[in-house]
Amino acid sequence: MSSDQDVETRHILECFKDRLKRIILVEPLLDLLHFLEPDQKDRIRAKGRADGDISAATLLIDEIIKTQCEKGWSRALVTALETVGCTNAVNYVSNSLPDPTEEAEHDSCVRLIDLMKLTLLNMKTRDVCTQCVSLGLLTQEDHENIMKATENHGNINGARVLLKRLVKNETGWFSKFLQALEDTEHHELMRELRGEPCNEGEPMAVETHEIRTVEEGEQMCLAATKETDPVLSANSSLLSEDLDSSVDSSGLCASAENGDVDMYKEGEEEEEEEEEEEGDLTEDDDPPASKREIELRDYQMEVARPALEEKNIIICLPTGSGKTRVAVYITKEHLERKKQMGEAGKVVVLVNKVPLVEQHYKAEFGRFLKHHYSVERVSGASQLKITFPQIIEQNDIIICTAQILENSLAKAKNGEEDGIKLSQFTLMVIDECHHTKKGNAYNHIMIRYLKQKHKNQLLKKQDKCPVAIPQILGLTASPGVGGAMSQQMAEQHILQICANLDAFTIKTKTFDEEEAKTPFKRIARAEERKQDPFGDVIKKIMDEIHTHADLLPLCEPGTQNYEQWAVQKEQNAAKEENQKVRVCAEHLRHYNEALHQSNTIRMSDAFSFLDKYHNEELKTKSSPDEDGAVTITDTERFLFTLFKDKKAKLQELMGKPEYENNNLAQLKTNILKEFTTREKARGIIFTRTRVSAIALCQWIQENPKFAEVGVSASYLIGGGDQSVVKPMTAAEQKDVLQRFRKGEINLLIATTVAEEGLDIAECNVVIRYCLVTNEVAMIQARGRGRAEDSSYTLVAETGSGVAERESVNEYREKMMSKAIAKICKMNRADYEKKIREFQIQAIMEERVKIKKKQQKGMMKESPSKISLSCRQCSVFVCSGEHIEIIERMHHVNVTEQFGKLFTVRENTSLQERLLDYETNGVLACKNCGQQWGSMMLYKSIECPCLHIKNFVVTCGSKKKTFSKWSELPISFPAFDYTQHADLFVEDSEEDDMDSP
C-alpha cells in the first residue's frame, strides 16, 4: 500500500478513535503488528492490565498515529484486524463506513446486550460459543479463549468473555446471535432479547409454537432498548427505521471464469416507499403482515396461470408491469403446493447482473417471502468462504447469478464434491430470459436441462425412473427479433428462445393506450457540423500512419467498422510478429476513439484522451530501473513525434467553441427544457462509452446553467475491466443508484449497464444520446421512463444515420409483437414439433462442439506444449509448464528466470483487497515496456500474475491471441502454496545469514 494510503489511514484513525477503541481486540492484534516496537507493545499490554481493554486500545491507536512506521504499515494493520476477526474495525480503517442507520442499530443492540448482561451470563456458554463459531461470529482463537475462561473461572466468566467479544462484530451480528441462542435451545433468553413476554410454565416448543423470524427479533431488540434506555428513546428517530437493514444475509461469489464460491455478509439498505401498484418498483423492505399477501391484477394472473399448472412458460410483459411480482407469486404457490404434497420445494432465481441479485432480494423475493421461507442471495461481493451446495441445502429460495450456478453444475459434471445438480431444484426462474442464446450462461444451463429432458424420455421408454428436472419460468420485457429482416425470421427467433427455455407457451398482454405507460417520444436532430478542423487534423495523422505502415482501410475513420478493422489488423500483426503494423493499429484505434469523442463530447475531452494515452505510452518507454533501458522502435518514435508535432494545433482548435459539434448544444437545450418545464424532473441519459458518460457528467457539472435549473448529475458505468476507463465497483454503482432513489441525484449519465433489469427509481426523462443499438435495448431504455408524462428523446446529428436506425428498431418492435401474437395462436402440434426440432439441433450442436474440443486434445496436452511471447516485441516470455493457477482464476509464474524478464511499475489504480490476495503493481516487459499483468501479494508471497491478452500464445506451429484465459483449453496445475512458502522462508533465512 502506498505512502498516501498510510497518511489517509492515520487520518482515519484520528477521526474514528472513539469508535475503534471499543471494537478492537488489543491482545491478539499486538502479536501481529510487526511495525510496532516491543517496548510500545509492553506499554499497551500494561495499560490493558491496569485500566482495561478500552484504555489499551486508545493507547494503541495513539502509538500508531504518532509513530513513523515503515511504509505499508496500513496494509499490515488491516490484515492483522482481519486475521483476529475485527471485521467491524476493518470497515472503518478501510474507509468503508456503514450506513448511519446501520451504525445506530448496531449501537442499540450493543446497549441491549449490556442491559441484559446479568441474564445472559447464565447461558450455556460452551454450547453458545460453539454455535457462534459455526455462524462466523467468533474465531477459533476466540473459542479457545472462551473455553479456557470457562474451565478456569466458571461458566459466568466464560460468558463475560463471549459477550465482550461478540459486540465487536460488524453490523448484523445480533440476528446471528439470536440464531445461536435458538439453536442451543435458549428460548427464554431469545424471547427476552426480542422483548416478548415470557410465560413461565409454558414451554416454547418449536414444533407447536410459531417462532418469530430473526428479522422480527431484531425489531423487538430496538423496542426493548428504547424502553430501558431514555437516551435511545429520545433519539428514536434514529432507531425507528426498518430493522431489516441490519439483518445480514449470506451469499456466494463466483468468478465468471472459475466458480470460486465465497460467502458475504451485507446489510440491507432502507428503501424508499413507492406506490404498490407500480409492479416491479421497490417498496418498504419489510411491509406489515397485511401487505405481505401478494395480490395480482387480472392480466398478471392470466399470464401466470400456465405456470401455476406447473407448465414451463415465458412471461413477456413491458418494463414496470410487474413481471417479477408475478414470479414471486408463482414461487410462493409452487412452494406451498410442494409442501401440501409432502415434497421438498427448492427454487433458484437466476439473474445476469450482480446488482440484480440484491435488487430481487430486497424489492421482491426477500421482501414478500422471507417471513415464510428461507431466502438467500448469492453474488460476487464476498469475503468469507462457504460451499455453494451448503447454501442450496439450507434454503428454500436462492437468488444468484447464472454463472455461479453454471460453475457449480460444471463441477458436478466433472465429479467434484462441491458441485450441484439441476435435479436439486423444483423451479428455476430466469430473469431477462431473452439472453438464453449461444454463448450465454443461461443457455449453458438450459442445454444441460434439455439433455436431461431427452434422456428422461429414453428412460421412460426403458421403464426406468427419470431424473427430476425443475419447472422453468422465463421473464422478459422484450425477446427481440435477433436482427430479423422479415416477419418469418422474427417468428423463428422467438420460437428459438421458446425452445431454449423449453417453454410450453409465451404469455404476454397487449396494453391499451390508456393502460400503457409509454413515454412521449421525440427525435431531436442537431444540425450537421459544417466545419471540423479538429477532426481533420486527427484524420491527417491517421492517414500518415496508414502510409507509414502500408495500411489501406476500407471504411471511414471515426466509425465502428473502422474500430473493428483496426482490432483485426492488430491481432493479425501480433501473431505474425509484425511489430510495425501492430503498434500502428493500436494507435489508430485510439485516434478513431478520439474522433468519436469529438463528434459526441467536447474537443477538449478528445484531446485529453489522446494526450493521456501518449503520455502513458511514453512513460512505459522510459527506463524503469537500473537494469537497462526499454527498447523504443523507429515506428514508435515516428508515432510519438507525429502526435507531438500536431499537439499544439489540436490544442489551439479545441479552444474555439464555434467548431464544437452541435449534438452537445441540442442535448443542453433538451435538458434545460425538461428541467424547467417539469415540477420535479428525474432523468437518465444513455451514451455509448464510459469515456463519454464521464465526460458528459463533467460537462454538466461544470456548466452553471444546469445548476440554476436544479440539475444534480452523476455517471453510472459498468464494472468489467475492459476499457481504458477504470470500472465502477459494485459498491460504487449501488451508492449512485441509492442517491438517485433518494433524490440527491436527479440526472444519471449511464452506459447501457442501466438499460436492462436494474430497478432504477421512476424517471420522467429518458434521453439516448447519439446511441442506437437494437430493438431490445430501445425497448429497455424506453422502459426506464416509468413515471406519468414521461418523455423519451433521441438526440442525433442530421445525416448520422442514428435516427434512421431508430426507425428500423421501431419496425422490428412491431414485427416482434406480431410474431409473439402469431406464436401464441399456433397449432399445438405444430408448435411442439418446431420446439423439438430446435432443441434437437441445439443438443447436436453442443455434441459437435464437445467432440471438436476433444479432437483437438488440448485439454490432455501438457501445458509445456505452449509458450508465451510478448505481444509487442515478440520476445519469449515463458513456457506453459511454469504457469500455475491461484484460486482457479489467477495465472502466475513465480520462477526466478521469469522474474528477470519484467519490471514492476506502480499501479495507478490500485484495486481493493480481495480474499487472500491484493494487486500491488503492474508487470512490464523490460525489453519494450508492454504491460504483461500485475504483481499480486498472495498470503505474503509476491506472485507475478499474467494477463493473457498481453501475449501471443504459440502451440506447435500455430500462433494465437486470446482475450481471457478461459478461451485457452489448457489445464494448468494449482499453485502449490506450501512449496513456494518453504522456498521463500529458506531464501529469507539465507538473506538473514548473509546480512551483517
Tens-digit pLDDT profile for residues 293-302: 788 888 899 9
Angle, in degrees to the nearest 10, between helices 3-15 and 73-83: 60
What is the C-alpha to C-alpha distance for residues 203 and 180, in angstroms, rounded to an integer? 19
* Radius of gyration of the chain from its Cα atoms, rounded to whole angstroms: 31
Instruction: Kindly report the pTM of this predicted structure.
Output: 0.59
C-alpha atoms less than 13 angstroms from C-alpha of 117 in its C-beta half-sphere = 15
Distances (CA, A) of 82 to 5, 86, 139, 916: 18, 6, 11, 11
Count of other CB atoms within 10 angstroms of residue 598: 28
Buried b (16+ CB within 10 A) or exposed e, 688-698: bbbbbbbbbbb
Residues 6+ apart with CB under 8 A from 821: 510
Distance CA 282, CA 869 (A): 52
**Other C-beta atoms lying within 10 Å of the C-beta of residue 886:** 21
First to last CA, the chain: 29
- pLDDT at residue 14, rounded to an integer: 80
SS3 944: strand
388 touches 379 (CB < 8 A): no
Instruction: Give the chain's largest Cα–Cα span.
Output: 95
- Judge whether 81 and 24 are in contact, CB under 8 Å: yes
Burial bucket for residue 763 (CB in 10 Å: 0-12, 13-18, 19+): buried
Give the model's pLDDT for residue 232.
36
How many whole angstroms separate alpha carbon 245 and alpha carbon 283?
14
The CB-side HSE value for 771 (13 A sphere, CA atoms) comes to: 26
Q: How far apart are CA 540 and CA 556, in angstroms?
A: 13
Q: Report the b/e string of 15-37 with b at 16+ CB within 10 A.
A: ebeeebbbbbbbebbbeebebbe
Neighbours of 572 (CB within 10 A): 14
The Cα–Cα gap between 560 and 567 comes to 11
Strand pairing report for 866-870 and 876-879: antiparallel
798 backbone φψ class: left, alpha, beta (φ>0; ψ -120 to 50): beta
- At residue 104's C-alpha, the angle toward residues 102 and 105, to 5°, is 65
Positions in the chain short of pLDDT 70: 1-3, 101, 195-292, 380-386, 510-521, 622-629, 719-724, 753-762, 772-789, 799-809, 811, 853-861, 906-920, 981-996
Alpha-helical regions (H) of 462-578 = 487-500, 533-549, 560-576
How many CA atoms are closer than 13 Å to the CA of 975, on its beta-carbon side?
21
537, burial (CB in 10 Å: exposed 0-12, middle 13-18, buried 19+): middle
How far apart, in whole angstroms, are the C-alpha atoms of residue 967 and residue 962? 7
Q: How many CB atoms lie within 10 A of CB 545?
A: 20
Cα gap 146→853, rounded to integer Å: 56
- In which residue are the cell numbers 454503482 written? 733
CB 718 within 8 A of CB 727: yes
> For residues 730 and 354, what is the distance between their CA atoms, to the nearest angstrom?
8
Distance between CA atoms of residues 433 and 479, nearest Å:
8
- Count CB-CB contacts under 10 A for residue 991: 9
